[in-house]
Amino acid sequence: MSQIRKATHNLGSKNIIGEGGYGPVYKGNLGGMPVAIKLLRPHGKQGFPEYQQEVAMLSRLEHPHIVKLIGVCQESCSLVYEHLPNGTLQDRLTNGLPWEDRVRILAEQRNALKYLHSRRPNAIIHADLKLTNILLDAGDVSRLGDFGTARAVHVKPLEEETIVRRTIPMGTIGELTTESDVYAFGVVIMQLLTGMDGIKITEKVRGAAKMHSVLDASAGPWPVVEAERLLKLALRCCSMERKQRPAITSDADWKPLEILRAKAAPASKTWKWNCFAS
């Protein structure tokens, strides 16, 4: 705790860069490294179970598009992460973001989810995918964060379609599956392509007379045909029938995203992350 106090000027209010159900988030400097420190608020809505869950998850994950957990302070139930100076994707989208960057970020986050869903013997379901939980570094490269409600679910090798577990995320009772993440990712896709907020976005996109009419013009000139195909895939992600949703791990299902990604960047700059790397 003494290190955390020193890193944050004794938890000074000027160092606060965020606030959530868990508690305040401070920017700090730990041994010359800029860090973000999430401090548990006593008696907060999100508390010790979420702290334990995040430590359990992030301590065994390593992926370029998942936030890095640098350390923990058990004394204060604090979590210390790499500091990502460009904030949340929600904030970045509000301030303007070219379509090429939006598509690249979607490809990055699909790779992060593929990595989580492909882990064996336990697939990991994030369970809280949204714009405010996707963070950006100085170059706008994305990281998926906030694993406080994530769950590891045992998966039998040939039964990927039956990943189901009864759980109680954030006080609600329901069936948590990999398809839950797919639904949330579909909403994120539509938000990035249209610039709309998430409220009834599926109905708005589905009800558009011409799908290209909902593309966010502030992002620049979209490749219309390819963007419409990705919007249609996003609508599939948000199907009320779980079995209709594309699997994050199926490259064939995600060709529309890969095609649009290829248009967003020269071939010499494209690269693929091996989702099975440790």
Please give the CATH architecture assigned to the domain spanning 2-82.
2-Layer Sandwich (3.30)
Give CA angle at 92 (89, 95), nearest 5°. Answer: 150
CA-CA distances (angstroms) from residue 193 to 118, 153, 215, 230? 26, 31, 6, 9
C-alpha span between 121 and 83 (Å, rounded): 31
One-letter identity of residue 187? V
* Tens-level pLDDT at each residue, the chain (278 residues): 999 999 999 999 999 998 877 789 999 999 999 999 999 876 555 578 888 889 999 999 999 999 999 999 988 889 999 999 999 999 999 999 999 999 999 999 999 999 999 998 889 999 999 999 999 999 999 999 999 889 998 876 644 444 444 444 443 446 788 999 999 999 999 999 999 999 999 999 999 989 899 999 999 999 999 999 999 999 999 999 999 999 999 999 999 999 999 999 764 344 444 554 44
To which residue do tokens 């697939």 refer?
123
C-alpha span between 260 and 224 (Å, rounded): 10
pLDDT of 47 reads 73
ω into 121 cis (within 30 of 0): yes
C-alpha span between 71 and 80 (Å, rounded): 5
Question: Which residue intervals of the chain are DSSP H helices?
Answer: 2-7, 48-58, 89-94, 99-118, 178-194, 201-206, 224-237, 255-264
Domain ranges across the chain: 2-82, 89-269
What's the start-to-end Cα distance of the chain, in Å?
31
Per-residue DSSP letter, 66: B
Contacts of 187 (CB under 8 A, 6+ apart): 130, 198, 201, 202, 234, 237, 238
User: What tokens were used for 17?
Assistant: 């860069």
Look up 128 and say whether it is catalytic.
yes
Tell me which of 1.10.510.10, 3.30.70.260, 3.90.1150.10, 2.30.110.10 is the CATH number of domain 89-269.
Answer: 1.10.510.10
In whole angstroms, what separates CA 77 from the centre of its chain?
23
Catalytic residue, from 128, 146, 181, 216: name it.
128
Q: Considering the chain, what is the average pLDDT of its residues?
A: 88
What predicted TM-score, i.e. pTM, was given to this entire model?
0.87
